Amino acid sequence: MNLFRAPLLGACLICAGIPAIAAAPAASPQEPIRTAFAVLVGYPSKDQSASGGALLVPGTVIPLTEEPAASSDIGRRQIVEKSLAFSKAAEKLWITFRLDPARQRQDGKSEMAAIGKAVDLPPLQDANIKMTATLLRYDNNNATYRIVFRQGETNLADSTVVVARGGRAVVGGMDGPAAPYLFVFVEPEAPTGSKAGTRPAASAQGITEPKLIYSVPPKYPADAKKEKVEGVVVLNLIIDVDGAVLDVSVLEDPDPRLTKEAVETVRQWKFRPALDIKGQPVKVQSTVSVRFKLQ
């Protein structure tokens, strides 16, 4: 099993999208900081056919009430911008490592990370691999984490990554039969009062993310394929309490033909609904990206 570490890759992928961080009063070193983690697993492409892929973006789920105005337009725009930045960073990873866009697995969680306390990351299915993240130190500008990959009693990889507060970095995983490519995204919350801060993700409010349980792959529009048109369509979904997609709106439209196919495809998807802190299904707003790429 070959191992690699890529904290610098993550910094390069998203550095252009990280807003400047405003000065804020120093936080007590004993206080935990909200950190979002996402685990992405990819596989090398087995064929060269044209295909589309879907990537659910973690940390962007917004619970919906009977009063839609409860979420401010500014807050929603900030969440959308963070979703687009995450999607583009993941897209670059898939292109860089030539991974199959139709074979993407993802899970995520949001935790109050305390210094020195390990956070268990979502486990990797079909492999005895455990991942943990430990906040080592932080200030108003950066946070330092230790990311460890273990298989049984063996450390497969042990990386330390420095992440800008309100920004994002990624640590590379392993190359092997169970998980050819594994990436851990780390996103510490910006200091209080920073322009980079956004409202907490739904998971921070006790809301679980909806899980995709049924999907159909998008078909590459023949005319767009002939003209070699590629792109990533980013959509905003309203997911009902039964997991059905109630509504789809477009956040990023690279080409009308690709967008039309993505919207029609996503409307057919089915989710395991999001749950509130009491375990009851709730209607939520979430984000999905559909990639069209010619191989």
Q: What is the CATH number of the domain that holds 119?
A: 3.30.1150.10
Domain assignment of residue 162, yes or no: yes
Domain-embedded: residue 13 = yes
**In this structure, is residue 24 part of a structural domain?**
no
**pLDDT bucket at 18, cuts 50 / 70 / 90:** very low
Let me know: does 174 contact 3? Beta carbons within 8 Å.
yes
The SS3 of residue 13 is helix
Is residue 23 in some structural domain? Answer: no
- The model's pLDDT over 236-283, given as tens digits with 9 standing for 90+, comes to 889 999 999 999 988 888 899 999 999 999 999 999 898 888 889 999
Separation CA 173–CA 131 (nearest Å):
10
Residue 157 within any structural domain of the chain: yes
Please name which of 75, 33, 40 lies closest in space to residue 57, comparing C-alpha atoms: 40
Q: How many residues would you count in the chain?
A: 295
CA distance 291 to 233: 6
The answer to whether residue 26 sits within a structural domain is no
Residue 122, in any domain of the structure: yes
If one counts the domains in the chain, the total is 1
% of the chain exceeding 70 in pLDDT: 68
List alpha helices for 71-227, DSSP H.
73-96, 222-226
What is the extent of the structural domain holding 163?
Answer: 2-18+31-293
Cβ-contact 201, 61 below 8 angstroms: yes
Q: What is the pTM of this model?
A: 0.63
